[in-house]
Structures are given as C-alpha cells and as structure tokens.
Chain A
Amino acid sequence: MTGDGDRGRPDPGSGLEQEQSRLLRKALHHAGIRHGDLWLRYFSIGGTVGEYEVDAYIQSLMSLPPDQRDLIAHAANELIDEFPPLPRAPYLEDLIQ
C-alpha cells in the first residue's frame, strides 16, 4: 500500500465507484480476462497500485483514486480491443467477388 490518506475512505462519489467496479467486473468476466493479466497491462501503461489492491477494487472491496480507476478501465478496454472481432455474415456480393 501507499501512504495516500484518501484511499479506502468512502467519498461522495462512492456510488459511482461501486458502479464503475461492478461494470468493470462484468466486462472482465464477459471477455474472460484474468485479473493478473489486467494488472500486468495496467502496470504496463503506468498504473501505480499493486496487484492485490487492484484485485480488491475489482471485487468492490477497496476504494482507489479516480485516475487509477480510469487507468484500470483503459487497460481492460485495450485488452478487450485486442480480441479478434466476431465473424460477420457475408452478403452475396462478398461471395461473388
């Protein structure tokens, strides 16, 4: 942990934080991204919070500063964007070409 006194204390935006971590959790679950992989990407893009704390945040057990929460969300979205897109159905024209 860091010596940041604001962490862990509920703030007026804690409802939003709960919502942010809940939807993150949902997105990770849907994409099948492991928490360890998310942390590694988050760390790679400059995240400063440890793996244990990030894991606790994902489970809505711990509060993190907004900038770190957004960085975690960004890391998740980068990983999600790297998945191959779902195959699309071809039009007849696509098959003739």
Chain B
Amino acid sequence: MPQQLPLDELTLALARINGLLLTEEKVDRAVQLLAEGIRDAFPGSSGAGVSLLDEHGNRTSTGATDPVVLEADEAQYELGQGPCLTAWATERTVLMHDVATDDRWPLWSQAVRDLSIRSVISAPLMAGTRCLGALKIYSTQPGAYDAATARPLEKLVVPAATLLANIQSSEAPKRFTQVLTSALLSRDTINRAQGFLMHRHGLDQGAALQRLLELSKTSRQSLFSVSTDILTETKSGPDDG
C-alpha cells in the first residue's frame, strides 16, 4: 500500500491556521477603527481607546486614537489599576468626572497627571456573558461625561463586542497547532512501531499493521499506546520474540 498523506487535509489545516493568523491582524484593525469611530461619535473627546483582554486580564490587542491614550492605557496595565481595568473586572461602565480629585485609583491618577486627561468614561465590551475588554474615551476637560453619555456608549459597545468576539481568536491557532502536532506525533509513533515489527518479524507493512491492530484489540489499549509500549521495550533491551 502506498503511504500517501492526505495532503488536501494538511493543506486545509495550514490554510485554516494562516487564516486565523490573518484574523488577528483584522482584530487589530477593527479595534483601531472602533477607537476612532467612538472618539468622533462623542464630541468634546480628545481621544479614545479599545483594549481586548484575555481571561487573566492580559492585553491581547489595543487600538488608540493617539499616543496620549496609549500612554494612559499603558500606565493602567503597569500599575494594575485604573478605570478601564475596573470596567473590565466589574463589567460595568465607569465614570471619572475629574482625574485630579477622584481618589479611586490614586496611582493611576498620579501617573496621568501630566497627560492632558481630566475626565474618563470606560465601558466593558460585553459579548453575551463574556467580557472581551474595555473601551474608554478621554477628555481634556473635567466633567465631560455623565450618565447621558453612558447610555449611547453602552448601546454602541454591545454590537461592537459581538462583532469582535466573532473575529477575535488568538487562542484558536494555538489550539489547532496542538491538535495537528499530536496527530502527527501519533502517526509517527505508530509508523515507527510498524517499522520495528516489520524488521523484527520480517513482515510487510500491512501485516505489521494487522499485528498492531490485534495487540490493540486484545489489550483494549489504543494503537498509539500499544505502539509506544513496543518502542519503549525496544529501547530497554530486545527479547527474542
């Protein structure tokens, strides 16, 4: 029997992986556009930013309209505190009327004192029950945002988060690679065990596979584990079987 790999499937698998990696770029682009759109939609805002976080609170993607937003953002993740992290963790919109007098995140307020940021509103990116991250709008003026800002912002955030959830898949390529790697490892192990049996007992490939299948059937162990056993025994010293 000719050993032919199902190349169609491997090609498809690789295409899927590449496709997913491309998707990550698309996420960055989408996040960037979202930040710009939000800044433009809320007059009086100096900048806006969107951060996607994984379940441990690590940033996976960031979009910002200007360097000030990035710097203020950076400070939050370095210090582990700030309005966006709170919005993400509590899954509620956070309003900060005046950075200079609000004492909820003292380290962060201190860090952004020299940036032209006076008021902030940050909303969680909720996709169903999952919180993907947070977006925020900054203003150079205190008291720029209130509950009347929060409502349209929250309305905007829900569909945005749903769309982001569908293209955000930074975990998927990793998982897929693991599946492919373990499939290839298993194939390789079984092939080597077949080769060993062929050599040891003078069998052809088909007969060697039959022998492995028999062993697997009678021992109720998987073909992979039977093959692993054979190869381990080979290492630890051959018998005359």
- Give the B-binding residues of A (Cβ under 8 A): 2, 4, 39-40, 43-52, 65, 67, 70-71, 74, 78, 81
Could you tell me if B209 and A43 are in contact, using CB atoms closer than 8 angstroms? no
Q: At the interface, is chain A mostly helix, strand, loop or mixed?
A: helix
Could you tell me if A51 and B190 are in contact, using CB atoms closer than 8 angstroms? no
Given the interface pairs A43-B187, A46-B187, A50-B8, the reply to whether A78 lies near B222 with Cβ below 8 Å is yes
Q: At the interface, is chain B mostly helix, strand, loop or mixed?
A: helix
Cβ distance B217 to chain A, nearest Cβ, rounded Å: 8
How many pairs of residues, A versus B, come closer than 8 Å at their CB atoms?
Answer: 58
Could you tell me if A50 and B183 are in contact, using CB atoms closer than 8 angstroms? no
In the bound assembly, the distance between CA atoms of A47 and B6 in angstroms comes to 8
In the bound assembly, the distance between CA atoms of A2 and B206 in angstroms comes to 18
Chain B residue with Cβ nearest A82: B222
Q: Using a CB-CB cutoff of 8 Å, which residues 132-146 of chain B contact chain A? A: none
User: Which residue of the partner chain, among B1, B9, B216, contacts A67 with CB atoms under 8 Å?
Assistant: B1
User: Which residue of the partner chain, among B5, B213, B222, contacts A48 with CB atoms under 8 Å?
Assistant: B5
Complex contacts, B224 vs chain A, CB 8 Å: 44-45
User: Which residue of the partner chain, among A50, A67, A74, contacts B6 with CB atoms under 8 Å?
Assistant: A50
29 A-B residue pairings within 8 Å (CB atoms):
A4-B2, A39-B9, A40-B179, A43-B6, A43-B183, A44-B182, A44-B183, A44-B187, A44-B224, A45-B224, A46-B191, A46-B194, A47-B6, A48-B2, A48-B3, A48-B4, A48-B5, A50-B9, A51-B8, A52-B8, A65-B1, A67-B1, A67-B206, A70-B213, A71-B213, A74-B213, A74-B217, A78-B216, A78-B222
